[in-house]
Structure 1
Amino acid sequence: MIAPIAVGAAALLAGVANAQVTATGTMGSTNPPQATLGTAVNSTSMARLVSLNAIDDFCLFAPPEPNSVIGNTEAEEVAWCVQARNNARQIPDGTFTSVHFVKTPLYWQIQGLGDLTKLNIAANDEGGELDPHGATGLGNPVGGNVTTNATGSDVHYEEWMNYMSYQQFCLRICIAENSTYSAAEMCQHTLDEMGCNWVMPGDYTDNSFTECEGDSAYPPGIYPQANGSTSTFQQRYTGTYTDGAGSVGMWTQGQTVTPQTAYSTPATSNCKTYSTIGNGVAAVATASSGNSTSSGSAKASGASATASASGSNKASGSSGASASGSAAKTAANAASASASGSAKASSAALPAAVGINYGPAVAGAVSVVAALAGAGAFLL
């Protein structure tokens, strides 16, 4: 278990001071009681329960209304699932041109490309980040919950992040922590403008569908240094505040130079390649679907295996798709920031020998902190 340490002001203001692995909160009011396959497909559902179990059994958060901008609707997003599950809306076949699912010791992650306007995201919207925190601490979306069956049964997890744009998505659910990094650090939620490739490095190759095992990446924004220390990136924010005397001042936090990539893209192995994924639904259905899939496996519901291969994953971002989570935020989030350490191109990952702890832990400190309490409202 990670020993209690001083938590940076930015983390405190963002509500992650007491992060843990498994969720202890209640289900959101619009959610079903538990993750369930074979539920009726509801094209107007407001359920907000996302599951990540397999390359053809996962959900994403996206807007309930057509032509919506993610940055304007973060608190309102609903669950969209490949399979008929969780009383959610169903992702139409043909939405994705690539999907890459990786299972690591500390998190399960899925990312890819496609036409996400089919999930009500406005065309050309560079998107934003969904997470269990939000400016009010109620989550973006409010009442959003997540599960995986990484342990063999459906478990609710406390820390997760889901970046969505009109053509790119990525979802990470942190299923464990080790003696160095907490689940909150592995699912760092304050880097909303950096985008999928930077925050969740991995395979973003288009026209490809893979399911792999992999090493865990270093937490987003962590850059190990040659002397054994780490440099921690913090996104730049600016804003105004009013002091007790009524005077208006300006606050800033974060750095002004942005590293171009994450520290590394971890290697993957035991990969299975599929020709496509789907559910047999050409458009969003309004009636119950008979298609379902066994949890944790890619069955005949639409994921067609064509080959298997082991090896390192490909360079993230090779498709040229824009990074989600960049343009739709407020003007207060305008300038991106940087860690003092430069980004390296190595494939280094977290040391494999570090023990995993599935119990509660205290979130790690952020190295550069907000000087004023007013900064908290912008840490989404």
Structure 2
Amino acid sequence: MSRSALSSVSALLAIAAVVRAQPDPADPTPLVDKHYAYPSGIPYQVDYNTAAIRGPQIGYNICNGTTENQDSLCQTSMVNHIDDFCLWAPPKPNSTIGDTEGQEVAWCTKPGRGTRLMPEGTLYGVQYIKTPNYIQIAGFVDQTKLNMAADDYGGELDPHGADLRGNPLGGLMYSNAFPSNNGNNDTYQQVIDWTNFMGGNGFCIKVCDPAGTNQQALCQNIYDRLGCAYNAPNNAQNGTFEVCQGDDMTPVGVYTSNGATMTYFQPPESLGPISSVPYTPVVPSSSSCVTYQSAQLYTGLPAPTGASGSAQPTGSAKPSGSKSGGAAAPSGTSNGAGALGVSTVAGAAGVLFAMAFLS
């Protein structure tokens, strides 16, 4: 696809997002326009206006050793590498993403972030992909260990939302993974464009390089009913932990039909379930994959408290052979809330959520 075609598509996607979103008059500055240097420039709370329609931010953004515990309300996330990333998940047990999207807190794989830590055994398989313009992490989880209800098919978290205040409200994200850091792991950049799908015992999180190209299209947030299969095509496999180099995906919604570049927009939720999408997402090429054992990666995590209440996801045997699918966590409504029932399949290689079959 030509650069001019991509630019035109990006403009269309931006227009669609603006039409859907309406700033809250009590807090009209979009979250994506709130920039803070790490760590000295971060305020206690990014979103504190009690008069705002959705109420104030429940947590805080200054996170350190005094806030690191399993009751932390830290809402500043890090996404760096396969052994060092955070996911957004509820603060209270047995919650759904749809009911708590504005309240999610950071759950991280590494101590020292001032957040909650994912309990030992939360992650069943993870694929980390580094592309020219973003990093993407997808995989399989016992979501009950992250306070999610066992049967929650989840939704999308992103820095936008219907009122542009973000889901979660005031949630910040930082990374040291991009070239402009010059390999300095002690320097973190604020990530402006990102998306995180949680649910169905799967997840995907994609963060776009602040200095990259086409970030808004590559980390688009208006396809939240289509899940990871469309928003973050991947080859994550249950039981496998790997790091790969990869190509950029084609922006969500963009496809070619009879030689012409087309753009699909998901219909409003008021029209009912999505029964079909006019194209099948393609997993971008990847290479130079390195496989790890989970015990090598996730040290220092706390033991889970009590029974998790869920078994390891279907298709949990360590796969072998060629890769044929990936994590495809379902999603929610047009602003990231609610739940969309999505059936799943386990492939011959033990891959769960190989494709999202829309109901």
Instruction: Compute the TM-score of the two structures, normalised by the length of structure 2.
Output: 0.69
> Does residue 1:261 correspond to 2:280, yes or no?
yes
Seen in structure 2, the aligned counterparts of structure 1 residues 234 and 70 have a Cα distance that, compared at 3 Å, is same
The residue that corresponds to 1:232 in the other structure is 263
Partner Cα separation in structure 1 for residue 243 and residue 125 of structure 2:
11
Instruction: State which of 220, 226, 234 in structure 1 corresponds to 2:252.
Output: 220
How far does residue 173 in structure 1 lie from its aligned partner after superposition? 0.4
Per-residue Cα deviation, 1:186-239 (whole angstroms, up to 9, x for no partner): 111111121112210011211100011111111111113453x42112111154
Question: Looking at CA atoms only, which structure, 1 or 2, has the larger radius of gyration?
Answer: 1
1:42-53 matches, cutoff 5 A? 42-53=69-80
Partner Cα separation in structure 2 for residue 273 and residue 329 of structure 1:
35
Specify the code of the residue in structure 1 equivalent to 2:19. L
Seen in structure 2, the aligned counterparts of structure 1 residues 154 and 82 have a Cα distance that, compared at 3 Å, is same
Instruction: State which of 329, 335, 344 in structure 2 corresponds to 1:323.
Output: 329
Structure 2 SS opposite 1:41:
coil
Structure 2 SS opposite 1:129:
strand
Specify the code of the residue in structure 1 equivalent to 2:129. V
Structure 2 SS opposite 1:269:
strand
Structure 2 SS opposite 1:211:
strand
Contact 2:244–2:288 (Cα < 8 Å) also in 1 = yes
Partner Cα separation in structure 1 for residue 211 and residue 322 of structure 2:
23
Seen in structure 2, the aligned counterparts of structure 1 residues 282 and 42 have a Cα distance that, compared at 3 Å, is closer
Structure 1 SS opposite 2:119:
coil
> Does residue 1:134 correspond to 2:172, yes or no?
no
1:218-367 matches, cutoff 5 A? 218-227=250-259, 229-239=260-270, 257-259=276-278, 261-262=280-281, 264-276=282-294, 277-283=297-303, 314-317=323-326, 323-326=329-332, 329-330=337-338
How far does residue 156 in structure 1 lie from its aligned partner after superposition? 0.4
Larger RCO: 1 or 2 (CA < 8 Å, sep 6+): 1
Structure 1 SS opposite 2:101:
helix
Seen in structure 2, the aligned counterparts of structure 1 residues 6 and 196 have a Cα distance that, compared at 3 Å, is closer
Q: Once superposed, what is the RMSD of the aligned Cα atoms? A: 3.6
Instruction: State which of 126, 132, 136 in structure 2 corresponds to 1:105.
Output: 132
Seen in structure 2, the aligned counterparts of structure 1 residues 19 and 41 have a Cα distance that, compared at 3 Å, is closer
Partner Cα separation in structure 2 for residue 33 and residue 106 of structure 1:
28
Instruction: State which of 201, 205, 212 in structure 2 corresponds to 1:167.
Output: 201
Partner Cα separation in structure 2 for residue 164 and residue 110 of structure 1:
12
How far does residue 16 in structure 1 lie from its aligned partner after superposition? 10
1:111-122 matches, cutoff 5 A? 111-122=138-149
Specify the code of the residue in structure 1 equivalent to 2:288. N
How far does residue 47 in structure 1 lie from its aligned partner after superposition? 1.0
Partner Cα separation in structure 2 for residue 192 and residue 78 of structure 1:
19
Q: Alignment identity in percent?
A: 35
Seen in structure 2, the aligned counterparts of structure 1 residues 47 and 224 have a Cα distance that, compared at 3 Å, is same
How far does residue 68 in structure 1 lie from its aligned partner after superposition? 0.2
The residue that corresponds to 1:76 in the other structure is 103
> Does residue 1:190 correspond to 2:254, yes or no?
no
Specify the code of the residue in structure 1 equivalent to 2:69. N
Per-residue Cα deviation, 1:125-164 (whole angstroms, up to 9, x for no partner): 1110000011111000000111111233310011100000
Instruction: Compute the TM-score of the two structures, normalised by the length of structure 1.
Output: 0.66
Structure 2 SS opposite 1:142:
coil
Partner Cα separation in structure 2 for residue 21 and residue 69 of structure 1:
25
Contact 2:44–2:62 (Cα < 8 Å) also in 1 = no
Seen in structure 2, the aligned counterparts of structure 1 residues 58 and 334 have a Cα distance that, compared at 3 Å, is closer
Partner Cα separation in structure 1 for residue 263 and residue 44 of structure 2:
33
Contact 2:31–2:166 (Cα < 8 Å) also in 1 = no
